[in-house]
Structure 1
């Protein structure tokens, strides 16, 4: 269930008036179907989270089709026009390029790039945020980017939460406790949760939980008895903070909480807005 504390929503508000595309509406329906209550100070913040989650999912799917290759850090590569390859196998943004162009290049010239799964989910986050706030705001927020082993800019506000309801756009982790030391890259797998219980697992593909576990179990030490498993936690960006950079939103209005509250509930195939 979704609760909104903002007079911008009325009992006559209808879905077409929210200007959401199909994928964003599906994210909102995931939230509305939940038995948990998701509270937002405004409809704009709810719409932004739906948009960002949708764009993270879209970025994961695009990266899967981009032509980039899975590689351990020592074999990483990138387009030198936009990035400098560090000694550790990370990508440091060149000073003479716009961050938005550099991120988009990964999806355009994918055959020039190779990296592992922790870097992949960082790229997915940046691409999702870029498409949500636009190039100008993105370039201002992230003037210097390092893509390496789960390194995030603090402005993304990435936090891990345990024992929560997992939603499309969340990043999760499969742990492989008895991995083979000869292939340490398979000690686990960072994934992006998509729709319909599917995951984007870089180096494996878009697939199910069962298939990811099966893949990791093939990379265990001989005689291993402990299966790989999905950790009960998820990483998410700071949707509220990033929403103030949504070019379609009014940052001041985002912070105004009125005395009137509204609830969005999902019943059957319909979203209802009520006081």
Structure 2
């Protein structure tokens, strides 16, 4: 269910001007047995807008024709990015961040990267489309795109799904018995587009079973351990970001300091660990 502070419920929410996807996400959360609490109507709208833009950005990245590649073989447009020795992309000095992110979607053929970097690119494009160019350039300067080495201002959260996820969430298909010849297929980070439809960089838009089938083609000989969808979900801290942009704050969002927070264990996506709330 959805609860909005001050109203006790969401019965008065007018969804007539929302997109079809925003309405779908809203109804799914409203009908859930879990409780989703929002401090204001604007906070709810921010999340739905950003989720919708994440889905749009994932579809746009697929349409861009950007290639899949390991870090060793990654490539980028030198006009906007400097390729690091590790295969990441460092924003060039004096280049607007918004222009560099947009170029990935415009000049996709000049780019190649692996699936975790693709997820971060999708998130940045969605943020750009949500908050606008001026705020984006102010808040997300000096980017390094490399695996899940995201700009921590995105403030990502990873937690167990409890079999509940929504469009715009990032999930992970794990291939525990991956072939030693193709270690890059040890798993696939994906954006949930709709019920049972996911975007994975290098694989495309596939159902859950199709994603699993693709990964199973890259297992050790005679393996009988299938790939599977992990019971975890990653998403931006919508509440924090909504409050930040509503306040008009000019400072960058605070950096994560996990040693100061009472979070329990961690979850792993790609090569990095994240806090589980």
* Bin of the TM-score, shorter chain as denominator length: 0.7 to 0.9
Task: Decide whether aligned partners of structure 1 residues 209 and 131 sit closer, same or farther in structure 2, where only a CA change above 3 A counts.
Answer: same
Task: Decide whether aligned partners of structure 1 residues 154 and 208 sit closer, same or farther in structure 2, where only a CA change above 3 A counts.
Answer: same
Contact 1:152–1:158 (8 Å) recurs in 2 = no
5+ unaligned residues in a row in structure 2: which ranges? 250-277
Contact 2:157–2:235 (8 Å) recurs in 1 = yes
Query: Following TM superposition, by how much is the alpha carbon of 1:11 offset from its aligned partner in structure 2, in angstroms?
Result: 6.0
Q: Which whole-Å CA distance do the structure 1 matches of 2:196 and 2:95 have between them?
A: 38
> Who is 1:222 aligned against?
221
Query: Which of the numbers 127, 138, 148 marks the counterpart of 1:140?
Result: 138
Q: Which whole-Å CA distance do the structure 2 matches of 1:15 and 1:229 have between them?
A: 36
Task: Decide whether aligned partners of structure 1 residues 10 and 110 sit closer, same or farther in structure 2, where only a CA change above 3 A counts.
Answer: closer
Q: Which whole-Å CA distance do the structure 1 matches of 2:12 and 2:210 have between them?
A: 45
Larger RCO (CA under 8 A, 6+ residues apart)? 1
Query: Following TM superposition, by how much is the alpha carbon of 1:215 offset from its aligned partner in structure 2, in angstroms?
Result: 0.8
Which of structures 1 and 2 has the bigger CA Rg?
1
Task: Decide whether aligned partners of structure 1 residues 10 and 127 sit closer, same or farther in structure 2, where only a CA change above 3 A counts.
Answer: closer
Contact 1:176–1:187 (8 Å) recurs in 2 = yes
Q: When the two structures are superposed, what TM-score results if normalisation uses the length of structure 1?
A: 0.85
Task: Decide whether aligned partners of structure 1 residues 26 and 250 sit closer, same or farther in structure 2, where only a CA change above 3 A counts.
Answer: farther
Matched, 1:2 2:2: yes
Contact 1:179–1:186 (8 Å) recurs in 2 = yes
- Give 1:203-222 correspondences, 5 Å limit: 203-222=202-221
> Who is 2:166 aligned against?
167
Query: Following TM superposition, by how much is the alpha carbon of 1:170 offset from its aligned partner in structure 2, in angstroms?
Result: 0.7
Contact 1:9–1:43 (8 Å) recurs in 2 = no
Q: Which whole-Å CA distance do the structure 1 matches of 2:12 and 2:231 have between them?
A: 39
Query: Following TM superposition, by how much is the alpha carbon of 1:28 offset from its aligned partner in structure 2, in angstroms?
Result: 1.6
> Who is 2:37 aligned against?
39
> Who is 2:56 aligned against?
58
> Who is 1:256 aligned against?
none
Contact 2:173–2:227 (8 Å) recurs in 1 = yes
> Who is 2:263 aligned against?
none
- Give 1:1-275 correspondences, 5 Å limit: 1-6=1-6, 13-16=13-16, 19-164=17-162, 165-246=164-245, 249=246
Contact 1:20–1:47 (8 Å) recurs in 2 = no
> Who is 1:258 aligned against?
none
Query: Following TM superposition, by how much is the alpha carbon of 1:189 offset from its aligned partner in structure 2, in angstroms?
Result: 0.5
What SS does the corresponding residue of 2:82 show, helix, strand or coil? Answer: strand
Q: Which whole-Å CA distance do the structure 2 matches of 1:30 and 1:97 have between them?
A: 40
Contact 1:76–1:89 (8 Å) recurs in 2 = yes
Q: Deviations over 1:186-234 (max 9, x none)?
A: 0111011111310001111101110111111110111111111111001
Q: Which whole-Å CA distance do the structure 2 matches of 1:37 and 1:55 have between them?
A: 23
Root mean square deviation of aligned Cα: 1.9
5+ unaligned residues in a row in structure 1: which ranges? 253-275
What SS does the corresponding residue of 2:34 show, helix, strand or coil? Answer: coil
Q: Deviations over 1:7-33 (max 9, x none)?
A: 6998655323xx433332222222112
